[in-house]
């Protein structure tokens, strides 16, 4: 056998030995190596007295490159209710209820996630989100949000975010349509006397 063939055989033997020992812990590896050396009649002191040039080490494993998660896996980065509320900036109580309903349905932790709201959620999530508590009772707060068109009523005091509320949170906030307390400034038309005065002044 030529030197090149011997080196190739050594590499294969080393690779096979490493593959066999890799799943074992350190103690088991030591026991296996001791048994193999005794079975083959090899003394470590004898091998150390006559060092042998080791062939190039065979690759033992391949580490794949790190994969960066895509930012487009979810519509929003998963976050806590306070961060989400700060991002959406709802201005009215009804908008805040819609934001909480969306959070519970889409972004809450698995054990907390659900597709409905109850009156108990009003105080809990208004406080967690950093919202000012509504002056109306919790059940009326949800009723007002329903009347505004953001929620649908379910049985036993449960309310579900509907398509209008979903679109509000996803597409129109921050700076969405509140529809409450907004009036367009009225533009007064000039009276006939003022109009005539302006005509005379321009002549």
Q: What's the total number of domains in the chain?
A: 2
Q: Give the model confidence (pLDDT) of 49-93 as tens digits.
A: 455 555 555 555 555 555 454 443 344 445 699 999 999 999 999
Mark whether 87 and 154 lie in a shared domain.
yes
User: Minimum mean pLDDT among 14-18, 48-52, 68-72, 188-192: which range?
Assistant: 68-72
- CATH for 102: 1.10.10
Range of the domain at 117: 81-172
Q: Give the model confidence (pLDDT) of 1-13 as tens digits.
A: 566 666 677 777 7
Mark whether 161 and 100 lie in a shared domain.
yes
Mark whether 103 and 143 lie in a shared domain.
yes
Mark whether 95 and 42 lie in a shared domain.
no
Using alpha carbons, select from 87, 157, 75, 163 the residue that is nearest to residue 129: 87
In this model, does residue 186 exceed pLDDT 70? no
Mark whether 26 and 87 lie in a shared domain.
no
Using alpha carbons, select from 151, 79, 91 the residue that is nearest to residue 117: 151
Instruction: Tell me the CA distances in angstroms from 10 to 64, 127, 177, one per residue in order.
Output: 27, 69, 75
In a domain? residue 189 = no
In a domain? residue 102 = yes
């Amino acid at each position: 056998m030529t030197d090149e063939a011997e080196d190739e055989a050594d590499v294969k033997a080393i690779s096979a030995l490493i593959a066999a020992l890799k799943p074992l812990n350190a103690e088991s590896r030591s026991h296996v190596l001791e048994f193999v050396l005794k079975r083959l009649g090899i003394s470590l002191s004898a091998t150390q007295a006559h060092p042998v040039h080791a062939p190039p080490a065979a690759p033992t494993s391949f580490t794949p490159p790190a994969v960066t998660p895509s930012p487009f896996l979810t519509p929003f980065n998963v976050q806590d209710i306070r961060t989400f509320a700060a991002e959406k900036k709802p201005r009215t109580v009804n908008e805040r209820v819609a934001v909480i309903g969306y959070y519970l349905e889409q972004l809450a932790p698995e054990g907390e996630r659900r597709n409905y709201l109850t009156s108990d959620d009003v105080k809990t999530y208004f406080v967690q989100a950093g919202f000012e508590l509504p002056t109306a009772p919790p059940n009326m707060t949800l009723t007002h949000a329903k009347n505004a068109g953001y929620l649908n009523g379910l049985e036993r005091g449960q309310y579900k975010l509907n398509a209008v509320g979903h679109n509000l949170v996803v597409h129109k906030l921050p700076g969405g349509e509140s529809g409450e307390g907004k009036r367009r400034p009225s533009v007064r038309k000039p009276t006939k006397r003022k109009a005539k005065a302006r005509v005379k002044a321009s002549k």
